[in-house]
A and B are shown apart, each in its own frame.
Chain A
Amino acid sequence: MGVGVDSGRRPFTGGRLGRAIGAMSETRSWPFLLIVPSLLVILLVVLYPTLHGISLSFREMRLTRPDLGTGFVGLRHYVDLWHDDIFWRSLANTFKWVTLAVSLELAMGMISALALNREGPLMRICTVLVLLPWFLPNVVAANMWALMLDARLGVVNELLVRMGLIDSYVAWFATPTSGLLAAVFIEAWHGYPFFTLLILAGLKAIPKDLYQAASVDGAGSYQAFRNITLPMLRMIVVTAVILRVISLANSPELLLILTGGGPGDSTQVISLYAFKTAYESFDFGYAGALSVVTLLLLMVFCVIYLRVSRVLEK
C-alpha cells in the first residue's frame, strides 16, 4: 500500500518529493520560493518581451524584408512617426475613442449600480444579467452587433423605424461620425458592467448609518449622493477609470473585428494601427515604436490623472 493512505502509520506527505518540498518550506527563503514560478513566467512572457519590444522600436525589423537586416536605426521610426499622417489621426481617434467610451461606461455603470443597489431577489438577478456582456468574447459581441446594426437586416434599424425615431434604415458604419459612435456604443454595452461591478461593491461598502445621520440632518437624497456617496466612491471610480483607460487604449480587439479601422480611418486607433503594422505589414520595428508611444502616453495619463484626482494624497 502506498504512503498516501490515510489509515497508514505515516501521514500522507506525498512521498519523497513531498517531504523534500516540506523541508524546503521550513527554510527562510520559502516566501521567495513561492513567488519564483510566477515571477519566472512574468519575467519571461511580460517583462522580457516588453523590454525587447522597446528595443525593437530602435531597430529595423521587417519580416517581409529580410534583406534590410535588423540593424540599429536610432530614432528613425520615431521620426517617421512624427511625419506620419495616419499616426496623428490615430492619436486623435484614440483620444476620442477612449474618452467617449469611458465617459459613457462610467455614466451607465454609475446609474445602473445606484439602481441595482437594493435588496431583493429581482435586483440580484438583474445584477447578474447586467454583468453578462462583460464576459462575452469580443468576437461574438462585435459580430452580434454588426448583424443588429446591419444596414439591411438590422433589428435596431427596424425598431427605430417602428418607434418613429428614424425614417428609413441607416447604414451606421457608412459615415465616419456614425461609425465611431456606433463603435463606442457597442464598446459601452460590452464594457459598462465593469463599472457597475466596482461601483456596486463600493456602494455596498458605505456604512448605512452615514445616510441615516444625513437624513436626520435633513439632507435630501441628492445632497446625500453629493456629500456621502460620491466622496466615498472616489477611490473606486478613479481606480476603475484608470484600469479601463489602460485596457481601452491597449487592446484593439473590438475595433479590429468590428471596423478594421474604417470607415475612412475614423476608428483607426493607435493600438489598432500598431497591430496592423505588425500583423499585416510585419514591420515590427515601426509597430514597436507605435506601442512605446502608447505606453508613454498611458504613463503620462496615469500620473496626471492621479495628481488631478488627488486620491493618493489621502
Chain B
Amino acid sequence: MAVSRHTRRMNLIAHGVGLGFALFSVLPIVWLVITSFKTEAEIVTDTITFLPQSLQLQNYRDVWAQSNYPSLMWNSIVTTFYTVTICMVAGSLAAYSFSRNAFPLRRELMLFYLVVRMFPAVLIIIPLFLILRTVGLLDTRFGLSLAYASFLLPLFVWMMKGFFDAVPPDLERAARIDGCTRIGAMVRVVLPLVKGGLGACAVFVAIGAWNEYLFALMLTSSAGSRTWPVGLQMMVGEFQLPWGLLAASGVISILPVVALFAIVQRAMVRGLTVGAIKG
C-alpha cells in the first residue's frame, strides 16, 4: 500500500530527526562531563582526544578542597530555599484564589502578574539595589531571594493556577459541608491533590533561582552571600582558563538541576505548558 509505505517512511524520518535533536541537545553536556574528567594537559593540547585516558577525579577534588565552591553552593542552596518558600506560600495562596473565585478585577490582576515579565531586568535591578541597600538587605541571601521572587513568583502563580483549576470545586463544597472552613478545605482536601504540581512548580522556581546570574552579580558582593554562578564566572580569568576546574564546577552545579528535572519532568512540563499557553 502506497499510503502506509509513505507513512512508515515519514515515521522513520521523524525518529531520525528527533534522535538528532536529542543528540544535539545532549552531546555538548556530555562533552562538558568528559572534559571534567580530563587532566589540564589533556584539555590544553594540540591534538584533541575525545575520551580521557583515565578517569581523573583531580578536578573534582580541587573544586571541593581548594576553591570556595562549597560555600558558594551553600549560599545558592540557602537563597534557593528562601525563594522557593516565598513562592510556595505567597504564590500558592494567590493561585488558589485566582483559580476559585470570580471577584472584580481578577482578570486584570492576573494580567498584571503576566505583564511584569515585560519589565527589563536592569530596570528592576537598579532600584532594587538602592532599596535593598536602604533596608540593609543588599549583599544578603534573603535580599537576593526577594529579588528572585520578582520574576519567579508571577510564573509560579500562573503555573500553579493551572494545577488548581484541574481540581473539581465540588470537593471543597463537600468539605465545607463536612465541617471544614475554606482554608481547611484547601489544606486538607485540595493541597493533597496538587502535591505533584506543587512539587513541579517548586522545582521550576528552584532551578530558576539556582541558575540565576545577573541579579546575583549586581546584588551580592561578599563571600557570605555570593552564589555559585557568580563564583564560577569569577574563576574565568583573563588569560589562562582553568578549564578542567570550570567543567567540574559546572557538572557539580547542574547535577541537582538535572536530577530534579528528571524527577518531576512530566508534571513540570505540563505545568509550564498550561501556564504558558493560557498566558
**Complex contact flag A–B (Cβ < 8 Å):** yes
A-side interface residues toward B, CB under 8 Å? Answer: 11, 13, 21-26, 30-32, 34-35, 37-42, 44-50, 52-54, 56, 108, 111-112, 114-118, 122-123, 125-133, 135-140, 143-145, 147-148, 152-153, 155, 158, 189, 193, 196-198, 201-202, 221, 235-236, 239-240, 243, 246-247, 249-253, 256-257, 271, 274-275, 278-279, 284, 287-288, 290-292, 294-295, 298-299, 302
Cα separation A54 to B246 with both chains bound (whole Å)? 38
Given contacts A56-B126, A279-B218, A290-B122, contact A126 B250 (CB under 8 A): no
Q: Chain B residues near A39 (CB, 8 Å)? A: 94, 109
Contact B48 A41 (CB under 8 A): no
Sort chain B's interface into a size bin: 35 or more
Cα separation A287 to B214 with both chains bound (whole Å)? 15
B-side interface residues toward A, CB under 8 Å? Answer: 6, 10-11, 13-19, 21-22, 24-26, 28-29, 31-32, 35, 43-46, 48, 50, 86, 89-91, 93-94, 96-98, 100-101, 103, 109, 112-113, 116-128, 130-131, 146-147, 149-150, 153-154, 157, 179, 181-184, 207, 210-214, 217-218, 229, 232-233, 236, 241, 243, 246-247, 250, 253-254, 257-258, 261-262, 265, 269, 272-273, 276-277, 279
Contact B233 A198 (CB under 8 A): no
Q: Chain A residues near B44 (CB, 8 Å)? A: 153
Q: How far is the CB of A172 from chain B (nearest CB, A)?
A: 15
Contact A153 B103 (CB under 8 A): no
Q: Which residue on B lies nearest to A215, using beta carbons? A: B3
How many contacting A-B pairs (Cβ < 8 A)? 297
Q: Chain B residues near A31 (CB, 8 Å)? A: 97, 100-101, 103
Contact A45 B29 (CB under 8 A): no
Contact A299 B116 (CB under 8 A): no
Q: Chain B residues near A37 (CB, 8 Å)? A: 89-90, 93-94
Cα separation A152 to B46 with both chains bound (whole Å)? 7
Q: Chain A residues near B96 (CB, 8 Å)? A: 34
Q: Chain A residues near B150 (CB, 8 Å)? A: 41-42, 45-46, 49
Contact A139 B233 (CB under 8 A): yes
Contact A278 B122 (CB under 8 A): yes
Q: Chain B residues near A52 (CB, 8 Å)? A: 127, 130-131
Contact A155 B48 (CB under 8 A): yes
Q: Which residue on A lies nearest to B149, using beta carbons? A: A41
- The answer, among A50, A126, A136, for a CB contact under 8 Å with B19, is A126
Contact B214 A41 (CB under 8 A): no
Cα separation A101 to B58 with both chains bound (whole Å)? 38
